[in-house]
Amino acid sequence: MSGPLAGALGFAAVVALIALRMPVAIAMGIVGTLGFGLVNGWSTLGFVLGRAPFESVFPIGLSVLPLFILMGVFAAHGGLSRSLYGFVAALIGHLRGGLALATVGACAIFGAVCGSAIATAATMGRVAMPEMRRAGYDDRLSSASVAAGGTLGVMIPPSILFVIYGLMTEQSIGKLLAAGILPGILGTLLYMAAIGWSTARDPKLGPPGPRANWTERLQAARDVWQVVLLFGLVLGGMYWGWFSPTEAAAVGAFGAIVLAWAGGKLKRAGYFTAIKETATTVGMIFMILIGAGIFNYFIDTTGLTDAIVQWIKDLGLPRWWVMFLLMVMYIILGALMDELAMMLLTVGPVFKLIVALGFDPIWFGVMFVTVCEIGMIVPPVGINLFVIQGVSGLPLATIVRGITPFVVADCVRMLLIALVPALATWLPSRMAG
Amino acid sequence: MTTLERLYDRADRGARWLAAAGIALLMLMTLVLMADISTRRTLNFAILGTIDLTQLAVMLAVFFALPLTFLHEANVNVDFFTNRLPPRALAALNCVVTLLSAALLIAIAWFSLVQARIQFAQGDKSMTLGIPMLVYWAPMLFGTTLSILATLLVATREAVRAAGAKVPW
């Protein structure tokens, strides 16, 4: 059997095992182990199994991940999400669909202190869903706006996906995080446009609420300045070269813990819950990295990556056609599997291809994360749909029925980033260092 | 309370404390990094070895968290294709999958031990502080070994479920 064919069969085996309920990390680890042994002989397998897990945790670049996770969990448990939602709702809650607009706006700001789409959706879902239900919002609009808004957490920095993409492709993590800002803002506006379009077609989806006066608005603003300060410090520090991404993550984690403590909303039991949540999230993400580390040893030796790049080059397609096909492939893959696993499985070969075709690696990172956002809200395996189902208790079908305008908004965003690459590349190009 | 439940309860408590210790060390590390940034920017004086210490804190946080992750089955999986299986068949499938997880973890633990011994014999140390590399391997060996025990406990519970007995947790 040829190397590339063995690699392709390895991919198929991983997908099959994942479908059989095997954890993604274990599926990649087992297939990587057996594949490496079969292709390269069993004598060197011990080295791979001994080194890959260590190398998947030890590099200093990876220390950003647990620190950003710590920051996000404490921001969520410290009550920052409720303050944010209250502030944005006070500003625009009186508009038609105003609470759904406020949900998306609050998700965007919360995404600025939390790098995870799941955490953003779960946190904002607990805050926003009951408010929207009380105000008579249709479940389709309320649930879909939280599910979609939550995905902004992986585009607006800090973003776990950008960090891992940067480590895999040896791109500057600081520049990647900066690259997500404008597309994140664009995504927020387009989601708001999707809500506007939905409520214009059917005003009963989101009836307008009472208008808050300026005293109430100023009162709500008092609770959110800390979040803005924290975000400004973390991103500004990296942007102006004051500190490295690891140090920025440490500043963010420290700031989030202090804010949670100073706000007085986190009791003793809450600290234990937050620590437990941080631990299981850290364990889960690094276990996937360990599995992918073993699997990538196998894939590297099969030569699959080079074979795919050569095959696509030989097809002679225009490079934008290749990019279009890649995006379609990622939308389909994203609908079927976890986004982190999708990244770890595919970015190696795809990155070589897009560099060979002359695309900007930072720009492609933004396109990739946008596609991941779509994958998070598309059935059958859109993770945010399940998160909102868990938080709200609504049937999955109800959430899915409301999601279409948001998926269209994401596709429009991808098109705009493709047509105007500066949306992703301008801010990183202005960065110090 | 059955023996299995008692065992699970103790393992759960132990795994929670271990994970909490790892995250507490990570929190402590944020303080060291904050101090380093402050002294560097105000006194032009950097704390020596923050990279070595950060790497050690991350190794401890990650591998101390793994037993809890496995015990609480917090690893990412896709249940869309199998969630219509009858409960006993699902438990049997879970049991097989968890045993395969244990097998992979055993292989990782064993070969990591071999690699750690090689690095120890070669006297490898960290870049700045000269911490023996064995100190970095130790949390990995410890966490992986406890994760094996966690997966075996979960596999036993799923086997009991698959056999038709009721499991209250």
Q: What pLDDT sits at residue A413?
A: 97
* Chain A residues with beta carbon closer than 8 angstroms to that of B57: 63
Chain B closest CA to A113's CA: distance in Å? Answer: 16
Are A23 and B77 in contact (CB < 8 Å)?
yes
Question: CA–CA separation, A31 vs A14, rounded Å?
Answer: 6
* Chain A residues with beta carbon closer than 8 angstroms to that of B144: 53
* Chain A residues with beta carbon closer than 8 angstroms to that of B37: 242-243, 247, 250-251
Nearest to B105 by CA among B133, B156, B50, B67: B67
* Chain B residues with beta carbon closer than 8 angstroms to that of A59: 55
A214, A228, A260 from A220: Cα distances, Å: 10, 13, 17
Q: Residue B120 — pLDDT band, cuts 50, 70, 90?
A: very high
Are B51 and A338 in contact (CB < 8 Å)?
no
Nearest C-alpha in B relative to A285 = B75
Question: CA–CA separation, B68 vs B27, rounded Å?
Answer: 18
Q: Residue B4 — pLDDT band, cuts 50, 70, 90?
A: confident
* Chain B residues with beta carbon closer than 8 angstroms to that of A397: none
Q: What pLDDT sits at residue B169?
A: 65
Note if the bond before A158 is cis, omega within 30 degrees.
yes
Q: Which of A19, A283, A337 sits opposite B65 (nearest CB)?
A: A283
Are B58 and A63 in contact (CB < 8 Å)?
yes
Nearest C-alpha in A relative to B103 = A30
pTM assigned to the model: 0.86
Are A67 and B30 in contact (CB < 8 Å)?
yes
* Chain B residues with beta carbon closer than 8 angstroms to that of A24: 75-78
Q: Does position B168 have pLDDT exceeding 70, yes or no?
A: no
Are A250 and B81 in contact (CB < 8 Å)?
no
Which residue ranges of chain A lie beneath pLDDT 70?
1, 381, 432-433
Mutate to test the interface with B, among A276, A333, A376, A386 (most CBs of B within 10 A): A276
Q: What pLDDT sits at residue A261?
A: 87
Q: What pLDDT sits at residue A145?
A: 96
Whether the Cβ atoms of residue A428 and residue A176 lie closer than 8 Å to each other = yes
Helix (H) or strand (E) holding B55: helix B50-71
Q: Residue B124 — pLDDT band, cuts 50, 70, 90?
A: very high
Nearest C-alpha in A relative to B56 = A58
Q: What pLDDT sits at residue B140?
A: 97
Chain B closest CA to A105's CA: distance in Å? Answer: 28
* Chain B residues with beta carbon closer than 8 angstroms to that of A272: 16, 20
* Chain A residues with beta carbon closer than 8 angstroms to that of B104: 26, 29-30, 33
Chain B closest CA to A354's CA: distance in Å? Answer: 29
Q: Which of A66, A251, A283 sits opposite B68 (nearest CB)?
A: A283
Q: Is B84 on the interface with A (CB under 8 A)?
A: no
Helices A80-92 + A117-134 axis angle, to 10: 50
Mutate to test the interface with A, among B75, B79, B85 (most CBs of A within 10 A): B75
Q: In percent, how much of chain B has pLDDT > 90?
A: 80
Q: What pLDDT sits at residue A385?
A: 87
CB pairs under 8 A between A and B: 185
Top-confidence residue, B146 or A232? B146
Q: Residue B24 — pLDDT band, cuts 50, 70, 90?
A: very high
Instruction: State the SS3 of chain A.
Output: CCHHHHHHHHHHHHHHHHHCCCCHHHHHHHHHHHHHHHHHCCCCHHHHHHHHHHHCCCCHHHHHHHHHHHHHHHHHHCCHHHHHHHHHHHHHCCCCCHHHHHHHHHHHHHHCCCCCHHHHHHHHHHHHHHHHHHCCCCHHHHHHHHHHHHHHHHCCCCCHHHHHHHHHHCCCHHHHHHHCHHHHHHHHHHHHHHHHHHHHHCHHHCCCCCCCCHHHHHHHHHCCHHHHHHHHHHHHHHHCCCCCHHHHHHHHHHHHHHHHHHHCCCCHHHHHHHHHHHHHHHHHHHHHHHHHHHHHHHHHHHCHHHHHHHHHHHHCCCHHHHHHHHHHHHHHHHHHCCHHHHHHHHHHHHHHHHHHCCCCHHHHHHHHHHHHHHHHHCCCCCHHHHHHHHHHCCCHHHHHHHHHHHHHHHHHHHHHHHHCCHHHHHHHHCCCC
Buried b (16+ CB within 10 A) or exposed e, A59-80: eeebbbbbbbbbbbbbbbbbbb
* Chain A residues with beta carbon closer than 8 angstroms to that of B82: 19-21
Q: What pLDDT sits at residue A3?
A: 81
Mutate to test the interface with A, among B72, B76, B81, B126 (most CBs of A within 10 A): B76
B 9-68 residues with CB below 8 A of A? 16, 19-20, 22-24, 26-27, 29-31, 33-34, 36-37, 41, 51, 54-55, 57-59, 61-66, 68
